[in-house]
Structure 1
């Protein structure tokens, strides 16, 4: 008695299809499905430090060569060196690909620092020289002013003389004022009050130069013992003579003048005289009148 064939799959597993050698190769079936491998993320190179170092290095060098901004160059140059070394460190560890750029930043940063230091030293030296020159000029001006003041004091002292002494002005006129002598006015008299003491002042001018010289202001002024100006006496004696005109080389001119001094201030007098009031300061002769 034969077994019936089960329903469903007519080719059970392990059995070759009808008409096929059970020991031969199996027929090709559908290709198995292919799944590609999951992509592994690749890290991006960290080149920012090298780029920054290069830019800062260039900035430091440019600022260092600028006269007005050199004092700012040290900061970007220093940062270029720091960032450059960080970039080189990244490149050595394979984290960056711009080693040359980082190295260039370090070099430029170093150059920028050297330029900044050099220009800074140069300006310090120049500033010191300018300051030294300024101090020297100030000292020279001060010394000249002191010398000029001493000269003026010496000249002022030299212009104060006693009666009978001589003073030579810069144009070569030597002036001597004699001690005032008593003067007896004759009528008519102008400028002499009753009770006053009249004195005669004699001024002698000698030309010590080689050219004729003029006496532009031949009238002296006289101050009494109290420092008050006295009045010029004019009388009818004709004894007074006014210095005026030219004095030839080697020649002298004599002027005679009378002044009225108050009786209470007649014991001493001071005479001021200059041959040219526009050019030469007065010289002074003083002393007792009796």
Structure 2
């Protein structure tokens, strides 16, 4: 008995579905964060007192925005526009932070200056200063009226300035600033430093005017008088300088103005000739 031979059948293999690549998830977080922080930073910068917050958020938004743009260029993110907006807002927040810091610090500085000015007004106070050891008067000279010879001005830091009466003298033939026919006068200016800090005399200026018209009296440069103060005056010490001024022969008065420095008001003495 013969077996029935079956024809060869091809071997079948299992069928698998074609491989599908998983879609890449967009990494948009940094761009979105940059936009949010940039908006908050820019709004904070509109309030000068919040300049510090605007500056911090602006820097972070700038960094995140630039990083988000880099991801978008590499195809890792899809919100390039949002990242760019966050970057721009970060820069704006930083600019507002700088402006706010300047405004705040300037306002504080102005307020401190106003407080200091109200506490220690540099307007001079008048004393009866013919004797430097005499009691100091707290009264200020009347507005528009100069001091008399020998009077002293005591400033709020206890710096005292006094001017003596004018005394005639004869300049040498080599003196500068003296005009023939005019009279030469010596005036002694004394600075007493009773403050706690040394006083720099390099900024002290002394000027004079003569006559009823207030014509400038030229300073005489001669070996009998000095050009001005030099060096510093230590606390508790004093310095004296004799100035020479030239005035017309018919002048009846010599007005001397002394300004210790830019931090002090100038004071005037009306000296009878």
TM-score, length basis structure 1:
0.43
Instruction: Please identify the structure whose Cα radius of gyration is greater.
Output: 1
